[in-house]
Amino acid sequence: MRDLVCALLIALSVAASTLLYRSFFATTGYLWILLTVTLCAAALAAVSARLRWGAGILGVAGFTVLAGYLLFPASLGSGLPTIRTAHDLGHALLSGWSRMLTIALPADVSGILLATPALLSWSATFVAVLLTLRTRLRLVPLLPPVLTFIISLGLTGAQPAAHLAATATFLVVAVVYLVIRTAAVQPVGALIAVACLALGLSAAPALSAENRFDPRALRPLPVDVTEAANPLSLIKPQLKTEPAQHLFTVRTTPEVDRMRIAALDQYDGRRWTESHTYRPLGTRLTGTDGQHTQVEIAALTGPYLPVSGTITALTGLTLPAGIDTGRDTLVSTAPMLRGLRYELTGTSPRRDDRLDRATPAVTPELTRLPSDMPADMTALAHRITDDKPTAYRKALALAEFLAERTASTDTPAGHSLAALRSTVITGQEPGYAEQRAAAFTVLARSIGLPARVAVGYRLQNPVGDRFTVTTGNADAWSEVDFQGVGWVPFDTTGQYLGTQRPPAPEPPIVAPAPSPQRPAPLPQAGDGQDRRPEATPAQPVAGAIWAGIGSGALLLALVGSVVTAKTVRRRRRRRRGVLGAWSEMTDRLVERGVTAPWSATTSEIAELAHHSLAVSTPRAATSLVDMAIYAPHLTSTSDAELAWTLEDRLRAELYPQPLSLRRLLSTLDPRPLLRKAGI
Residue-level pLDDT at 282:
59
Which residues are 315's β-sheet partners? 343
Residue-level pLDDT at 532:
37
Q: Is 332 helix (H, G, I), strand (E, B) or coil?
A: strand
Q: What is the 3-state secondary structure (H, E, C) of 165-213?
A: HHHHHHHHHHHHHHHHHCCCCCCHHHHHHHHHHHHHHHHHHHHCCCCCC
Residues 617-654: tens digit of each pLDDT: 888 888 889 888 888 888 888 888 998 999 888 888 88
Single-letter amino acid code for the residue at 51? L
The mean predicted confidence, pLDDT, of the chain is: 79
Residues 95-122: tens digit of each pLDDT: 888 778 767 666 778 888 889 999 999 9
Which residues are 455's β-sheet partners? 262, 476
- Report, as an integer, the average pLDDT of 168-197: 66
Identify the residue with better confidence: 671 or 217: 671
| Highest mean pLDDT (candidates 58-62, 324-328, 347-351, 477-481) | 477-481
pLDDT(284) > 70? no
Buried b / exposed e over 481-514, threshold 16 CB at 10 Å, is: bbeebbbbbbbbbbebbeebeeeeeeeeeeeeee
Peptide bond before residue 231 is cis, with ω within 30 degrees of 0: no
Q: How confident is the model at residue 448 (pLDDT cuts 50, 70, 90)?
A: very high
Residue-level pLDDT at 204:
46
Rounded percentage of the chain residues whose pLDDT exceeds 70: 79
pTM of the model: 0.51
Residue-level pLDDT at 106:
67
H helices of 427-577, where? 433-446, 540-574
Residues 228-247: tens digit of each pLDDT: 678 888 888 888 888 989 99
Residues 355-393: tens digit of each pLDDT: 888 889 888 889 999 888 889 999 999 999 998 889 999
Q: How confident is the model at residue 27 (pLDDT cuts 50, 70, 90)?
A: confident
DSSP 80: B
Handedness of CA 604, 609, 611, 612 (dihedral sign): positive
Single-letter amino acid code for the residue at 385? T
- Report, as an integer, the average pLDDT of 130-149: 86
Q: How confident is the model at residue 516 (pLDDT cuts 50, 70, 90)?
A: very low
Task: Return the domain boundaries, the chain.
Answer: 2-218, 231-500, 542-676
CA distance linking residue 282 with residue 280, whole number of Å: 7
Cα separation values, 623 from 369, 371, 582, 635, Å: 96, 99, 11, 11
pLDDT(616) > 80? yes
CA distance linking residue 179 with residue 395, whole number of Å: 64
Residue-level pLDDT at 679:
46
CA distance linking residue 54 with residue 49, whole number of Å: 9
CA distance linking residue 272 with residue 414, whole number of Å: 10
- Report, as an integer, the average pLDDT of 314-323: 79
Q: Are 301 and 337 in contact (CB under 8 A)?
A: yes
Q: How confident is the model at residue 465 (pLDDT cuts 50, 70, 90)?
A: confident
Opening angle at CA 258, ends 351 and 359, nearest 5:
35
